[in-house]
Amino acid sequence: MTEKDYTHVSTIRVRYSETDQMGVVYYANYLDWFEVARTEFCRLMGVPYSKWEEDGLILPVVESHCRYKHPARYDDQIQLWCRIADVKIYTVTFEYRLLRASDYKLIAEGWTKHGCTDCKGRLYKKEHPFYKWIVSRAEAKTEGERRK
């Protein structure tokens, strides 16, 4: 996958508090950045995550993976690329690529898989309120890839 396969990019700047004693970004912060990318992706695609929750869809992370490629350091500007990778009735998977903006070096990539639950934590057994919206966003990218 390359950035052309992704549908959305956000930008953040590494804060001092996000670095460790060695001067590089602490590993767990990358998962926080995945959340920023996912939240902004949904907002820019037309439905902020808060609307999903208002309408009864909660997306807890049930699996995550991050592969660290190069270190990010204090004050680096980071591009957070996000896309929908897979959609099922019960789950949705987002993929991420994090690049240092100054040289476009890939610093990390990964994915998060989310269960589709109601407000009480019960897994949806049929189409949830945003299922068709998520599928249409994933299919739009798939159609674009077929045309290339």
User: Which of 5, 20, 76, 118 does the annotation list as catalytic?
Assistant: 20
Cβ count within 10 A of residue 34: 24
Q: Which two tokens stand for residue 131?
A: 């299922």
Torsion angle, CA of 125/127/129/132, rounded to 10 degrees?
150
Is there a catalytic annotation at residue 5? no
CB-based contacts of 89: which residues, under 8 Å, 6+ apart?
A: 116, 124, 125, 126, 127, 128, 131
Cβ count within 10 A of residue 66: 17
CB-based contacts of 140: which residues, under 8 Å, 6+ apart?
A: 7
Residues noted as catalytic? 20
